[in-house]
Structure 1
């Protein structure tokens, strides 16, 4: 009697398929016939994937925010499975494949010269499984509005285009550590004319560049690439290429080298922004350039060549600049190309806990593209320079900004704290560096004297804040 009661109370059900008798978790169905069909598609596709634990939650959004929830759980242990988790959620969907702990997913799986390791082969398998899942659940993916994928490799160069075309309602797509075989394949996105895709995030993807042939509703694009093409493999493509993107307003460009390439002077490339920012005049409003503590990869050019692309820019962010890089020339030649710029944020890479911080880069300062004497910027209102160490190094640049920006309202120098526990622990090992860490007491007379020194001889009403 107790065994029968335990069997009745158990959430699992007995299944006799004729060949064997086993137990499996039940499926929870909705009353909707359409949802039963979607669930049937999901069940058949998941059975073929062979993953360890899959959670599928389908959220149907009818109209604006009407949703129903349907859950299904399957547990299958394929031969040789290492036990790592994979999670899938629908409605907002995340497909997360976690490589084994012996390898780092932070840096992907491709070494500098395109060689492969076990993790890369594993990611290639993840890509094949995801493609099979996409083809096996057409109804579910058609209703999807948000999708995030990580650690996937594809052999089909049209894989991302096929994904976007299958997900007709997709508005947000995020891809991290994704790429192709071979690794020199350019990622191509060609959305249909009725596409709703507004946000496309390609974060640290193992590709040499990303081409958007068509994305009529795209507003924000994060372009993160990591692969450089060697001379014997062909020409280096531009990191980004744009076709029909009439609504694009916000663009982020991020290039991160592999660890093996940091000490290789030949494994470095520079790009002219004017050669690939082929957008409508005054279209772009927010531009972020992230250098990930490497050399500045923007090639100097005269502002007149950049003005068609940056003429309507209102916000410029320069992030993770290596402390040995001189960003003065970069800022001034971008300011000359962006007459409508209102906000400028500069962030120096401040993580002393990271070995890249202590590397010495071979830097050549460019003065060809500096603005002429007497140049004035009449729209710039706010400038911030977030540097944790050697803050006084930015004083000459700050004075140039005060002289040039005639309508400047606020200038901020320094950072309030390191914001990293690792940096706090590491800093005592570098006494000279720790002594350069200035934190200003806002009520101190030294601050007032420094502010007066910055403003000396300059007619400005800007508020200067020292952190």
Structure 2
């Protein structure tokens, strides 16, 4: 008997044969999904088998209340371990107007009010394209008592509004393109993972309150001309994380290098740092501030890439949307030349090129990191959409003779025992 049920509304939409899918098609897809759920659940022996996972993806609308009531009825008579809702809107983010997101917000709250027990049993909730009033988010947090995972995509209370998040069980929070001025993670005793993508505020977008178990923070943003440079020593507050990921989207660096004395309180437990999509016009010397401020760092990953298919390259549009006209890199003097790091084991650089700035950077890390075991130098990363814009030689494995020459350039005159690897880069 099935104990894991994953049903997605996409399975019930008309096949894309060139004709436009209408709202009526999506309503029918929701209705068909609901009938499928009823049929499957009706055949189960409730007394013999618990449901380990019930994962549903469907569209927000009047008909979604029927889906909620079907699930709620199941929760009353059967044990459901993990219950997940991914609630889609019938328009995508780019197509949604202000009226649309307000309407979606009203629909969502009507849905929750109609099915409070169902939402009270959810462990995972994914929402998109909704704008709620002041009581909306607190109502969601209080109703969804079992919630462990929450994803908000283009959700807010209005442009540049404020959000306080309090929940006793929430362990993972993802926020993507949410137009808040400020998000206060006020009381989240179980939060371990935070992903925050794209902010519009001119201030620090997050404030960390009581988050004693927070381990992993991932931040992604395009640094526009009016964005404040983040000082991680201030931004992270009392949080002491072990995993940090920063994605610069091939644009301006938006973190301010700081000295080790300032960073040690927030970086003392840091084990893994991943810096993604650093523009190819930047040097890498500034990243040494992380190594200097994180004495327990064990792995350091860096991706250098101008991701052409995601970058805005039209000069007029860049001016219109306030893309920074300054240089994309940042300056960093660093500490005294005698700096040593005793815990770093692995350095990975994706997008490595046989240029002096890369070679000198690797040598600097080798000289500082006394315990370094392995260095992985990958050629350029490319995705399928933009690989034709990148010369084949820049994304193909280096010939044996070039690898030998590069290894000698890097190792010459150093006392490091680190092993240099040249793996093949995968497209992604």
TM class by shorter-chain length?
0.7 to 0.9
Specify the alignment match of 1:341 in structure 2. Answer: 297
Q: Quickly say closer, same or farther: Cα 1:300–1:355, change in 2 above 3 A.
A: closer
Specify the alignment match of 1:58 in structure 2. Answer: 71
- Give the alignment of 1:183-332 within 5 angstroms: 183-191=159-167, 195-229=168-202, 236=203, 238-256=204-222, 265=225, 267-280=226-239, 283-329=240-286, 331-332=287-288
The answer (yes or no) to whether the contact 1:99–1:119 under 8 Å persists in 2 is: no
Query: What SS does the aligned partner of 1:92 have?
Result: strand
Q: Does 1:169 align with 2:140?
A: no
Larger radius of gyration between Structure 1 and Structure 2: 1
From 96, 99, 102, the counterpart of 1:121: 99
Per-residue CA distance 1:183-218 (angstroms, 9 max, x = gap): 111222112xxx221111112322233210001111
Q: Quickly say closer, same or farther: Cα 1:393–1:356, change in 2 above 3 A.
A: farther
Shift of 1:335: 1.2
Specify the alignment match of 2:312 in structure 1. Answer: 356
Shift of 1:314: 0.5
Q: Quickly say closer, same or farther: Cα 1:414–1:451, change in 2 above 3 A.
A: same
Aligned pair count reads 365
From 408, 412, 426, the counterpart of 1:452: 408
| TM-score, normalised with respect to structure 2 | 0.75
Shift of 1:388: 6.5
Specify the alignment match of 1:97 in structure 2. Answer: 89
Question: How far apart, CA to CA, are the structure 2 residues paired with 1:340 and 1:188?
Answer: 32
Q: Does 1:408 align with 2:372?
A: yes
Specify the alignment match of 1:78 in structure 2. Answer: none
- Give the alignment of 1:123-138 within 5 angstroms: 123-138=101-116
Shift of 1:463: 1.3
Question: How far apart, CA to CA, are the structure 1 residues paired with 2:381 and 2:213?
Answer: 38
CA RMSD between the two structures: 3.4
Query: What SS does the aligned partner of 1:399 have?
Result: helix
Shift of 1:413: 1.8
From 422, 425, 428, the counterpart of 1:466: 422
Specify the alignment match of 2:389 in structure 1. Answer: 426
Shift of 1:315: 0.6
Question: How far apart, CA to CA, are the structure 2 residues paired with 1:93 and 1:335?
Answer: 40
Q: Quickly say closer, same or farther: Cα 1:361–1:124, change in 2 above 3 A.
A: same
Specify the alignment match of 2:7 in structure 1. Answer: none
The answer (yes or no) to whether the contact 1:204–1:256 under 8 Å persists in 2 is: no
Per-residue CA distance 1:124-148 (angstroms, 9 max, x = gap): 2111211221122111011111111
The answer (yes or no) to whether the contact 1:440–1:447 under 8 Å persists in 2 is: no
The answer (yes or no) to whether the contact 1:333–1:370 under 8 Å persists in 2 is: yes
The answer (yes or no) to whether the contact 1:388–1:438 under 8 Å persists in 2 is: no
Shift of 1:417: 5.2
Q: Quickly say closer, same or farther: Cα 1:358–1:252, change in 2 above 3 A.
A: same
Question: How far apart, CA to CA, are the structure 2 residues paired with 1:456 and 1:437?
Answer: 24
Query: What SS does the aligned partner of 1:125 have?
Result: helix
Per-residue CA distance 1:241-271 (angstroms, 9 max, x = gap): 11111111111122246xxxx5xx3x33212
The answer (yes or no) to whether the contact 1:313–1:340 under 8 Å persists in 2 is: yes
Question: How far apart, CA to CA, are the structure 2 residues paired with 1:221 and 1:393?
Answer: 33
Where in structure 1 are there 5+ consecutive unaligned residues? Answer: 1-23, 35-45, 69-89, 110-117, 230-235, 428-433
Query: What SS does the aligned partner of 1:422 have?
Result: coil
Question: How far apart, CA to CA, are the structure 2 residues paired with 1:384 and 1:54?
Answer: 50
Question: How far apart, CA to CA, are the structure 2 residues paired with 1:417 and 1:293?
Answer: 13
Q: Does 1:146 align with 2:119?
A: no
Question: How far apart, CA to CA, are the structure 2 residues paired with 1:349 and 1:61?
Answer: 48
The answer (yes or no) to whether the contact 1:332–1:371 under 8 Å persists in 2 is: no
The answer (yes or no) to whether the contact 1:150–1:175 under 8 Å persists in 2 is: yes
Q: Quickly say closer, same or farther: Cα 1:180–1:349, change in 2 above 3 A.
A: farther
The answer (yes or no) to whether the contact 2:305–2:380 under 8 Å persists in 1 is: no
